[in-house]
Amino acid sequence: MFLNWLDTISEEKIKEYSISPMGSKSDFFTNLSILNEKKIALISTNNEFSNQIRSKLYNLGDFEKMEEFVDLGNFKKNHVDFITPILQELINSDIIPIILGLDFNEYVNFLNIAEISNNQIITNNIASFLGQVNGNLSQFNFMAYQRHLSEHNILNHKAVSTKDSCNLGSLKTNIHHSEILLRNAESVLLDLAVLKKSESPNNPRNKPNGLFTEEACVLAKNAGSSNMLDCFNLSGFSKNNCDIEAHICAELIWYFIEGFKQRTLEVPRPGTNNGMKEIIVDSEVTEEHFKFYKSRKTGRYWFQSSNSKKIIPCSEKEYLEMTSQNIPDRILQHLGVD
């Protein structure tokens, strides 16, 4: 199926990439057997800018091993009916697609067809994103959005979940809090418009405020480290593609791969001793008890209420607030308490 639906990387390009540091350790799709043992697949919409990104990516520093990575090439068509079978086949094979350049509408339509939930959208403008999507809307968490770019009640939109959403100011105050917000994400879209105008000056959707490239790389790395992730879409390219934007995209992909390679496979399981310390906190506010899990290996925290089976990532700060009988707003959101 793949060979009929993809424009694979040409032999000429493979030779060009293979003399570069990262390219020399990368596999390029030629037949189905090459997918054996793969865990990450780069795949892009069919445009020249994708080739610019690849040229920058494969010239970056290499990893010790790249056995889990393969470059599939480009979709022959970018329509959702065409891309969905390929992406679903990858996901069903436990291969995470890194998608380059799929527009917002086609991406959301794919998420709906594939029934992927817990979606994180990293963008500067919630209203602009929602305005570019047709058809049925799932609920999305939004990260790094700028409050002054949307109407005051945008967070009340039916497609916006505030449980794991975070505005730009809050995110920049503690960029590493993004790991908690992304830990359970099943899909992540990173819109290049989230960057400051000074970082990507040729993109008309970038604003004076926004993320620095190194902050966006932290988000990409944390997305890659999520054990729940099914797909990652790097989107929002400008029509006036430039060298600096290709560099940025290459670095975001590199840090996503690094995050994947540094994954720690740990999931709290109630009643089992799987490297987790269980802590019970009784709440005088809600008159129920909460079970917190702390990883003995990484120090990461999760919480679970006595009235739910869901186990939610949280921070040590949120845990300490709970022990002081102060329930953080984010935990209240997950509990469904107004």
Write the secondary structure of 190-229 as one string of H (helix), E (strand) and C (coil): EEHHHEECCCCCCCCCCECCCECHHHHHHHHHHHHCCCCC
Assess if CATH 3.40.800.10 describes domain 2-261.
yes
pLDDT exceeding 70 applies to what percent of the chain? 98
Q: Beta-carbon neighbour count of residue 176 at 10 Å?
A: 10
DSSP count for the chain of H helices, then E strands: 12, 14
State yes or no: pLDDT of 273 exceeds 70: no
Region 133-149: mean pLDDT is: 90
- Give the pLDDT score at 288: 78
The pTM assigned to this predicted structure is 0.94
State yes or no: pLDDT of 305 exceeds 50: yes
pLDDT exceeding 90 applies to what percent of the chain? 71
Which residues have CB under 8 Å from 173's CB, separation 6+? none
Closest CA to 1 of 70, 73, 79, 89: 89
State yes or no: pLDDT of 338 exceeds 60: no
Write the secondary structure of 54-91 as one string of H (helix), E (strand) and C (coil): HHHHCCCCCCCCCCCEEEEEEECCCCHHHHHHHHHHHH
Domain segments of the chain as ranges: 2-261, 276-335
**Residue 167 — pLDDT band, cuts 50, 70, 90?**
very high
State yes or no: pLDDT of 337 exceeds 70: no
State yes or no: pLDDT of 62 exceeds 80: yes
Region 207-225: mean pLDDT is: 97
CA angle 249, 114, 28 (to 5 degrees): 45
- pLDDT tens sequence across 221-271: 999 999 999 999 999 988 777 899 999 999 999 999 999 999 998 888 877
- Give the pLDDT score at 64: 86
- pLDDT tens sequence across 123-139: 999 999 999 998 777 88
Region 191-219: mean pLDDT is: 95
